[in-house]
């Protein structure tokens, strides 16, 4: 299901300006959200993040249009993965953006499999570094080739996804989400300035942790810290809280760790109350 130019379409084949900067230069941003019963989970947070990302690139997002598009494609599904994309639009040849951007926005939906949530993942170390000095490391821009290549390399090694270090050799994130290391009751994730996306579920975990008796912290995480952790989990808007069963050659019993189970339960309850539908893992 696709929404574009104020209308719903059954397929994804639509006319497109081949001079669009999103296509030619990756000059655009996107967002991925979960919808349950036609409701976008954390809708306002997703819209705000998409708007901040567009503003960082130097053009404005029409939040009203984005909200309409997301809700329109979500309405056709009981459970859906929603992707909203906005480019700067077309412009003259060259790298410098046009003085008056004409953003192009569309949204699409696909069925979301309930088993996606809370499923375990295996991660391989990527040889590609995350550039924490780049604004694009903190936003979902259309230039995702590093993550694509890292995922391919991780898959060849028998893993589901990749872990990125930043230019200083510290842990940044996974290709599809943010990482948390757990030791006892302490839950630690790298700060945003380490090259980390401001994840929606990341923010919820940090907010929920104190109420569960957990000590949540944002601080530098090294590969050695991950190796010494009792458990590791990954967060994103579709997997929610995904226990990590392996990083490289190191195995973890993350799925059964009390802190991971507590966060999973609290997040499930919160989403269920907001959407009127249980999250199935």
In tens, the pLDDT along 84-143 reads 999 999 999 999 999 999 999 999 999 998 789 999 999 999 999 999 999 999 999 999
Nearest Cα residue to 244 out of 147, 176, 150: 176
For 47, list phi and psi in degrees, rounded to 5: -65, -40
Q: Please indicate, yes or no, if residue 197 is contained in any of the structural domains.
A: yes
Cα 132 from Cα 208, distance rounded (Å): 27
Answer yes or no: is pLDDT of 11 > 90: no
Give the pLDDT of residue 112: 94
Burial bucket for residue 12 (CB in 10 Å: 0-12, 13-18, 19+): exposed
The CATH number given to whatever domain includes residue 271 is: 3.20.10.10
Q: pLDDT by residue (tens digit) across 22-67?
A: 999 999 999 999 999 999 999 999 999 999 999 999 999 999 999 9
Cα 51 from Cα 67, distance rounded (Å): 11
Q: Please indicate, yes or no, if residue 142 is contained in any of the structural domains.
A: yes
- Assess whether 163 and 229 both reside in one domain: yes
CB-hemisphere CA count at 13 Å for 111? 3
Cα 165 from Cα 216, distance rounded (Å): 21
- Assess whether 86 and 126 both reside in one domain: no
Cα 281 from Cα 272, distance rounded (Å): 13
Give the pLDDT of residue 12: 86
Q: pLDDT by residue (tens digit) across 149-180?
A: 999 999 999 999 999 999 999 999 999 999 99
Q: Please indicate, yes or no, if residue 280 is contained in any of the structural domains.
A: no
How many domains does the chain contain in total?
A: 2
Nearest Cα residue to 162 out of 130, 190, 199, 125: 125
Answer yes or no: is pLDDT of 219 > 90: yes
Q: Please check whether residue 252 is in contact with residue 180, taking contact to mean a CB–CB distance below 8 angstroms.
A: no
Cα 77 from Cα 34, distance rounded (Å): 11
Cα 40 from Cα 70, distance rounded (Å): 8
pTM across the whole model: 0.94
Cα 154 from Cα 137, distance rounded (Å): 20
3-class SS shares of the chain: helix, strand, coil, % to 5: 35, 30, 35
Q: Which of 65, 92, 112 is the last residue of a domain?
A: 112
Range of the domain at 66: 2-112
Alpha helix locations (H) across 18-133? 21-25, 43-57, 63-74
The CATH number given to whatever domain includes residue 86 is: 3.30.470.10
């Amino acid at each position: 299901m696709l929404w574009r130019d104020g209308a719903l379409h059954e397929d994804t084949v639509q006319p497109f300006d081949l001079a669009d900067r999103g296509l030619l230069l990756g000059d655009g941003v996107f967002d991925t959200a979960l919808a349950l019963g036609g409701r976008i989970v954390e809708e306002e947070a997703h819209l705000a993040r998409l708007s901040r990302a567009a503003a960082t690139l130097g053009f404005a997002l029409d939040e009203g249009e984005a909200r309409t598009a997301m809700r329109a494609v979500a309405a056709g599904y009981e459970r859906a993965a929603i992707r909203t994309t906005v480019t700067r639009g077309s412009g003259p040849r060259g790298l410098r953006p046009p003085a008056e951007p004409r953003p192009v926005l569309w949204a699409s939906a696909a069925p979301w499999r309930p088993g996606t949530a809370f499923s375990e993942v295996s991660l391989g170390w990527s040889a590609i570094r995350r550039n924490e000095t780049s604004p694009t490391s903190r936003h979902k821009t259309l230039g995702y080739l590093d993550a694509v290549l890292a995922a391919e390399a991780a898959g060849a090694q028998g893993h589901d996804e990749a872990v990125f270090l930043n230019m200083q050799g510290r842990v940044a994130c996974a290709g599809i989400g943010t990482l948390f290391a757990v030791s006892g009751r302490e839950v630690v994730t790298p700060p945003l300035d380490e090259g980390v996306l401001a994840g929606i579920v990341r923010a919820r975990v940090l907010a929920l942790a104190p109420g569960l008796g957990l000590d949540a912290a944002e601080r530098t995480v090294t590969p050695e810290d991950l190796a010494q952790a009792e458990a590791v989990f990954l967060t994103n808007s579709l997997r929610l809280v995904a226990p990590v069963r392996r990083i490289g050659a190191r195995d973890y019993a993350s799925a059964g760790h009390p802190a991971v189970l507590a966060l999973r339960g609290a997040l499930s309850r919160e989403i269920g109350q907001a959407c009127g539908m249980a999250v199935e893992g």
